[in-house]
Structure 1
């Protein structure tokens, strides 16, 4: 592989990734002249070999290639190391004639210039490498911060989950004593269906002696309950989860049909209301108007 092939490899990879010359210049901070010299393999346009090697490694790193491998390939193509270049320069700077002090002075100056070039190239390479490391490390920090913000958001409080309201004249006008199997009256909820399957014995509605204008129904711990409430002739259905309370204000009358009568507690006007019901059994309760 020669310099032109190496430069062509870098150029092809840049074009494959859809990067323009300006984008590479912005990322690597290498001038257009040096980028063109690298891609064309024009050794005459190269800066000092130390700088050229640093630019090529920076270019390769920006493309996601193995920068060390590309740098070593460049050194093999050039056919000389930094130390060999320094020795050759020193030999050329010291002719076989002339005063001794002058030869020593010229060689020292060249050596100092070469060392300055080496140090400058290393500093530039380390600066560019640090820039890429900072860019890579910055993105995960933003993601972590966003994750913390999302995790720290308080969960929305659970509220009662009423089933879609439906007015049902058929339910309101049906005789109270009709048998009601749980599988027909319960909404599509796994817990309610497991609570009781098959027909349930009909029970006569309980007439509340101590009535009020607000009735509260609360699901006991570990229980869920489907219920139908006919408030002043208007029918609504609800599903109570464990610990949830449903308040039902009324003016003239309130009829309750509980899918899990033994799984709830009822209060009327803030006072506990006693009734007899078994878990998983349908229970009907009627509250007349206040007297």
Structure 2
């Protein structure tokens, strides 16, 4: 597509004024389109430069420089484009508009503001995907999934801990084995007599959230998940295995542990994550 820079297109147009004596040529006055084109070339600008600066489409710029104002959609819009292009190339818009009005039957009647604004409105640039909104949605989905996992893990952990702790000893009667185990003591610090009854051939770990809520995870010696979820303040969980119990405490500073009937006196820091392993006999931190 030509940018209108051909030397032949830049030749001045001679005209004979009707106000001068016959046969005496007046100084050539370029047309509106030619004046805009010559000023653009003198400024070292291309049609693409003008389009970028004014947002007037390339096809309309070429048409105006060729004095074809039909693509503008009317004299009102043509005058608006002439004013915009004149400012971009450093010409006085008033002189070009006066010349345009003289050549096109005078200044047109005012056009209502709403249609004029709609016609001259700049077309918005095409935007790419909104990655920020997509990331926020993804984060919300992950948080929701984690919360759902904690809730499901808490329900499953209750079943696992009850099943592990419901193993009857050989001395228990059939009637006592048929009765469901009583739920764990909700008090944060159980009595010593209750924990002292833990079987010697197993490892028994009781986790109590005494100072606040904490996420915990518990596994048996085979890596089977016994519990994975949140303990609210005042809640307790008891885990039992033949060999060892592995714990992960999300906020160890709010947790009190009882292992094989003994209170663990480790000074856990608030907010610290602790990974612990307890076995039969005296408690030993893994």
Q: TM-score range by the shorter chain?
A: 0.3 to 0.5
TM-score w.r.t. the length of structure 1 is: 0.36
Q: Which structure carries more helix by proportion? A: 1
